[in-house]
A and B are shown apart, each in its own frame.
Chain A
Amino acid sequence: MPKLTPDEVRHIAELAKLALTDEEIEQYASDLSAILDYARQLQQVNTEHIHPTASVLPLRNVMRPDEPRPGLAPEDALANAPERQDGYFKVHAVLECSQ
């Protein structure tokens, strides 16, 4: 299996929203290549007709009555916010304003 290239690591870092230095990108390209190379042994296992396990629990669809109940107070929810304004989390503009 080909090694992961620095450009591929940049692409994943973009998906995962991680700013990485060039040194980090080189290091992770090498680390991930080694781990994925090891993980390649899974391809030897015959998994035809084997269902994937997403959860080991025998429980399914746990339901509760849809009734109003107290939640987190706005002040508590906002207490750790880096920036806040008028009872909201403050986020920098996402869209450009065009006339």
Chain B
Amino acid sequence: MSDLPRTIHETRQWLRSGQITSVELTEAYLERIQQVEPQVHAYLHVAADAALAQARLADERRAAGEDTPLLGVPLAIKDVINVLGMPATAASRILEGFMPPYEATVAHKLREQGAVFLGKANTDEFAMGWSTENSAYGATHNPWALDRTPGGSSGGPAAAVAAGEAPAALGTDTGGSVRQPASWTNTVGMRPTYGRVSRYGVIAFASSLDQVGPITRDVRDNAILLEAIAGHDPHDGTTFPDPVPPYSQMLEGGVKGLRLGLPREYLTEDMHPGVREATQEAVRVLRDLGAVVEEASLPYTDYGMPVYYLIATAEASANLARYDGVRYGYSAGAADLQENYKLTRGRGFGPEVKRRILLGAYALSAGYYDAYYLKAQKVRTLIRADFDAAFQRFDALVAPVAPIPPFRIGEAPTDPVALYLLDVLTLPSALAGAPGISVPAGFVEEDGEQLPVGIQFIGRPLDEATLYRIASAFERATGYGERAPTDAAM
């Protein structure tokens, strides 16, 4: 990979100076994909012909004098985001072969800006999971340790970026699905403020929580990509009308004098010692850079897991009602309509998706609505109030992303409660609608393998700029993100 630019901003320099064309660059990535996909399986669909056509168009636009940050830059797109001309499966059998009749706003924006789509990246089915093991089309492997998961649900996009199969990618984060895989693959992952990025054309999981976010090799690239996809969308009534700040030009401010809170509830007793050490080391670095880091408290943290899993599954049970075997997707072909609904859905959905539909339907059902769903919505208000109070005192929060490093494929906890607790550090901020970014913070050694660990910064709603500023200062001081996995492993 040493013969290719590492980042989007370096790619732009190469393209601008004529050192490489978008077609050559795209060919090089397609070759790289062919080389490592048998080991990594980051993609569900590689769109070689469409990508090369987009690259040719980008080269023509550049020849005509255009020079924008993403012109001719190849990207991977998580397979829950509709891209015209490519299948959109959400890694589910129920959408096998589905060709979206319209394009997601985020993809359309990137296309207009000249980006090249290499293909659709793997995910847990309907973005429900931690490891991509819930994909109906096989798990993605972590380029840092191929026997381990890259995390999830945006494990495909994160692994593609880490393995050099794309310089950057789009994922989605409902309860941590951008930040956790970023932390497990030594990449940078941003969950923007809820409402900052359009969800139009993004296959819905939990509509009050879903957000699209960039996964990149450095902070600058992340800011470039968020700038390109953020903003108001007339197709999505939940997007903010506020103008999008030029994030990529707001990275240099440093952290001197910034007040950062370290939530004491986030340093749990059962946390992996390596994650704890990486967090403490990150705090030391931030203090050295001049930030004021003090203990914060988010007292309702422990309720985040049950609140999230009641609300997200309730919303999912409603959103996934549309898969009926009539209008699109898999159909079991039974003669009786009711029977066809049940067989189509029973066979088309995987085990985790069915578990969540059942949990959500139960939480919404007569007699349980008040005790579960409504109660969860009320406690969500208290969780938001926790963050509001913390942001009175602090400019941002600093916290670990996942309590453990990436586990081996096939070795996820079997107890559903233990499994759902893996998200405990990313769920509360998602429930509060706050933005969060995961940045490389070092490595832990386990059984002779070097496993990436991330640190997250959580900010006030619509204050992504401060998060990028902190992340950029931390990145410049540490440089962990510059390390790439060795090809020997792949």
**A interface residues, Cβ below 8 angstroms from B:** 4, 9, 12-13, 15-20, 24, 28, 31-32, 34-36, 38-39, 41-43, 45, 47, 50-57, 59, 62, 64, 72, 76-77, 79-83, 89, 91-94
Which of B238, B310, B340, B382 is within 8 Å of A57, CB to CB? Answer: B238
Closest to B352 in A: A31
Q: Which B residues are CB-close (under 8 A) to A81?
A: 326-328
Q: Contact between A42 and B417 (Cβ–Cβ < 8 Å)?
A: no
Closest beta carbon of chain B to A64's beta carbon, Å: 7
With a cutoff of 8 Å between Cβ atoms, the chain B residues found around residue A42 in the complex are 303, 306-307, 310, 372, 375-376, 379
Q: Are A80 and B237 in contact (CB under 8 A)?
A: no
Q: How far apart sit A26 and B426, CA to CA, in the bound complex (Å)?
A: 31
With A52-B381, A53-B380 known, 16 other A-B pairs at CB within 8 A are A9-B358, A13-B342, A16-B345, A16-B358, A17-B324, A18-B346, A35-B417, A35-B420, A42-B307, A42-B310, A43-B375, A56-B432, A57-B238, A80-B328, A89-B326, A89-B327
Interfacial chain B residues near A32, Cβ < 8 Å: 355, 358-359, 362
Q: A79-B101, A82-B326 known; A54 and B359 CB under 8 Å?
A: no
Q: List 16 A-B contacts (CB under 8 A).
A: A16-B321, A34-B415, A34-B416, A35-B359, A41-B306, A42-B372, A45-B375, A47-B375, A53-B377, A53-B384, A56-B194, A79-B101, A80-B98, A82-B329, A91-B326, A94-B337
Q: Which 10 A-B pairs have the closest CB atoms?
A: A56-B433, A19-B346, A52-B377, A80-B328, A82-B331, A62-B237, A47-B378, A19-B342, A39-B306, A76-B101
A56 & B325 in contact (Cβ 8 Å cutoff): no
Q: How far is the CA of A59 from the CA of B431 in the complex (A)?
A: 17
Question: B residues within 8 A CB of A92?
Answer: 335-337, 340
Q: Which residues of B contact A39 (CB under 8 A)?
A: 306, 309-310, 372, 376
Most buried by B among A4, A16, A54, A76: A16
Please classify how large the interface on chain B is, using the bins under 10, 10 to 19, 20 to 34, 35 or more: 35 or more
**Considering the chains assembled together, what is the distance between the CA atoms of A12 and B354 in angstroms?**
11
- Inside 8 A of A31's CB, which chain B residues have their CB? 355, 416
Per-position binary interface string of chain B over residues 290-305, scored 1 when its CB falls under 8 Å from any chain A CB and 0 otherwise: 0000000000101101
A contact residues around B338 at 8 Å (CB):
17
Interface residues of B (CB under 8 A from A): 98-99, 101-102, 194-195, 208, 234, 237-238, 240, 300, 302-303, 305-307, 309-310, 317, 321, 324-331, 333, 335-343, 345-347, 349, 351, 354-355, 357-359, 361-362, 365, 371-372, 374-382, 384, 415-417, 420, 431-433, 461
Expressed in whole angstroms, the Cα–Cα distance for A79 and B237 within the complex equals 27
- Chain B residue numbers with a CB within 8 Å of A16 are 317, 321, 345, 357-358, 361
**Inter-chain contacts of B309 with A (CB < 8 A):** 35, 39
Cα–Cα distance between A77 and B208 once the two chains are bound (Å): 26
Assembly CA distance A31 to B324 (angstroms): 25
A53 to chain B, nearest CB (A): 4
Q: State the CA gap A62–B240 with chains docked (Å).
A: 11
Query: Bound state CA distance, A36 and B382, in angstroms?
Result: 20
Asked whether, in the complex, the Cβ of B195 is within 8 Å of the Cβ of A43, the reply is no
State the Cβ distance, B159 to closest chain A Cβ, in Å. Answer: 28
Could you tell me the distance between the alpha carbons of A50 and B385 in the complex, rounded to whole angstroms? 11
Q: Which residues of A contact B375 (CB under 8 A)?
A: 42-43, 45, 47
Residue of A nearest to B101 (CB): A76
**Closest A-chain residue to B336, C-beta based?**
A92
User: Chain A contacts of B416 at CB under 8 A?
Assistant: 31, 34-35
Q: Tell me the bound Cα distance from A13 to B355 in angstroms.
A: 10
The CA of A92 and the CA of B337, in the complex, are separated in Å by 6
B376 to chain A: closest residue by CB: A42
Partner of B381, one of A9, A28, A50: A50
Chain B positions within 8 Å of A28 at CB level: 354-355, 358
Q: Which of A9, A36, A80 contacts B99 (CB 8 A)?
A: A80
What is the bound-complex CA distance between A38 and B329, given in angstroms? 35
Q: Are B326 and A80 in contact (CB under 8 A)?
A: no
Complex alpha-carbon distance, A79 and B99, angstroms: 8
Known: A57-B194, A81-B328. A18 touches B342 (CB 8 A): yes
Are A82 and B379 in contact, with the CB atoms below 8 A?
Answer: no
Provide the residues of chain A in CB contact with B330, threshold 8 Å.
Answer: 82
> Which residues from A are CB-within-8-Å of B195?
56-57, 59
